[in-house]
Structure 1
Amino acid sequence: MTSSSPTRVPVTHRGAAPAELRLFLREGLRDPAAVGAVAPSSPALVRALVAAAVASTRPVRVLEVGAGTGRATRALADGLAPGSRLDVVESNPRFAEHLRRLASGRSSDVDVRVVCGRVEDLRPAEPYDHIVSALPFTNFDPADVERILGLYTRWLRPTGTLSYFAYRGTATLRRATASPAEARRHRAVQRVLEAHHRTRRTSSTTVWRNLPPAVVRRVEEPAVMPSPVAWPGSTS
């Protein structure tokens, strides 16, 4: 899928919950592997995911990837410091259109822009202070996970944070039910994630109040600095 031009949208809570649930269930049945969840993220999971980004009292640049029906998007739009910029990337065109429809005249001090497309096609003009990712890494090929994590590392400021989550118990479940090839793929993805964690300071929080329970990982402060990115307009 090719990405479209960014669309600036204000994000609102009004009347979204029933439509979100119907949309989530419909898209989950259409492509369960791409959606990668059995239920929308709970408020507790959303709070843990966005905690690092909304803790800042100064304007920040935030990238949200895999926004789905927009639960974390609204939390970020409401919680970020005034003057912040939120770029939202969603590859599912129906989810992306839903995010745009959340605009209902709500004024916001946060600049929210939605891009329908793959995160690999994104070309950010400036580095991000925080990245919030809801991509279902355990459903991806190991090479794709490694590529996306590499992009996240390059796009983050040296002091930036990456927050993402995975469901508890997926490794045990896959060992019990998956084919040998699928189990090998899952183990390879886990090795990619563990290798990434070893290069940075990583903390984790278990969110029990979610279906199913999830582990939120926050990755920050690289032990080895990545190669500098020549951002447009930079003088370095």
Structure 2
Amino acid sequence: MNGWTTSHDRVLAQRYAEGWMFLIETARDLRPAGTSASSGNALARALTEPVRAAAPHPLSVLEAGVGTGGVTRSLISQLPRGSRLDVVEADPRFATQLHRLIATHPAPAGGPRPVTVYQTCIEDLDTDDRYDVIVSGLPLTEFTPVQVERIMARSMELLHPGGTLTYSTHVGMRRLRALTASRSEARRCAAVSEIMAAYQRSYATGRTTVWASLPPANVWRLQRPCILSDDQQQTRDGAGR
């Protein structure tokens, strides 16, 4: 059959073309690309699944690395009545946009949700509060191993026992970069992957591949246990050094 049968088909074709262009440009230019691709509705839905799973119970939720606010919009719409949302964003430009987004976003059914914005890094967040769900949009593969250790240790510390951390990684991005990366960049990526693998072995409760995201993404769910095992304590101790 010639041509596209529906406007939906045309939209899908455009999105997949944009995804392939992202991969091609990343291979050409190895500057940090962690936030270059839009989260998209499918990815936002996967990242926020623990919020829906806990409904209708009130939740304390933290979002880190919000970028342009795509996941934030999803969270505001999904939070159960009586919940609160804290948002951490280090980039002042994104933080300013975030304040505008919160001020103009339509209130969900049941009235407005309390939202607080902190312009800082999650590892530097000075609070004694603990959270039921943390949604991370941070491009962890772009940071140094030391930064990743600090981010992950603080994220797990900020969770209530039994709380869930979600984050995403691009499918196949490590292999793609390995084709053109310098030796130092390859060592950095390998070290970060080892750190993340250790947390996944100790805390992961599930992984979902979102093929509708461009590029495709794996969404990981990590849970802080009520009592740490010896292996989990060693992972936390190692990240704190």
Q: Report the TM-score, using the length of structure 1 for normalisation.
A: 0.78
Matched, 1:87 2:105: no
Deviation at 1:38, TM superposition (A): 2.6
Aligned pairs for 1:175-214 within 5 A: 175-214=178-217
- Letter matched to residue 39 of structure 1: A
Partner residue of 2:45?
47
Give yes or no for contact 2:44–2:74 (8 Å, CA) kept in 1: yes
In the aligned structure 2, how far is the partner of 1:100 from the partner of 1:221?
Answer: 30
Q: Where do 5+ consecutive residues of structure 1 fail to align? A: 1-31, 228-236
Query: Helix, strand or coil for the counterpart of 1:68?
Result: coil
Partner residue of 1:28?
none
In the aligned structure 1, how far is the partner of 2:143 from the partner of 2:224?
Answer: 25
Partner residue of 2:228?
224
**Structure 1: which 4+ aligned runs deviate by more than 4 Å?**
none
Q: CA-to-partner distance for each residue in 1:37-80, whole Å, 9 max, x for gaps?
A: 33211100000000102322111100000001111111111101
Sort the Cα spacing of 1:143 and 1:105 in 2 relative to 1 into closer, same or farther, 3 A: closer
Query: Helix, strand or coil for the counterpart of 1:55?
Result: helix
Partner residue of 2:61?
62
Tell which structure's C-alpha radius of gyration is larger.
Answer: 2
Give yes or no for contact 1:204–1:216 (8 Å, CA) kept in 2: yes
Give yes or no for contact 1:134–1:164 (8 Å, CA) kept in 2: yes
Q: Report the TM-score, using the length of structure 2 for normalisation.
A: 0.76
Give yes or no for contact 2:42–2:213 (8 Å, CA) kept in 1: yes
Partner residue of 1:38?
36
In the aligned structure 1, how far is the partner of 2:143 from the partner of 2:61?
Answer: 23
Give yes or no for contact 2:122–2:155 (8 Å, CA) kept in 1: no
Partner residue of 2:26?
none
Q: How many residues of Structure 1 are paired with residues of Structure 2 in the alignment? A: 195
Partner residue of 1:149?
152
Sort the Cα spacing of 1:161 and 1:105 in 2 relative to 1 into closer, same or farther, 3 A: closer
Query: Helix, strand or coil for the counterpart of 2:98?
Result: helix
Partner residue of 1:15?
none
Deviation at 1:221, TM superposition (A): 4.5
Q: CA-to-partner distance for each residue in 1:175-216, whole Å, 9 max, x for gaps?
A: 101001101100100000011122223311101111111100
Matched, 1:118 2:109: no
- Letter matched to residue 228 of structure 2: V
Structure with the larger helix share:
2
Deviation at 1:147, TM superposition (A): 1.0
- Letter matched to residue 36 of structure 2: V
Q: CA-to-partner distance for each residue in 1:100-142, whole Å, 9 max, x for gaps?
A: 1121274443211111121122122321000000111100011
**How much is the aligned-residue C-alpha RMSD, in angstroms?**
1.8
% same residue: 45
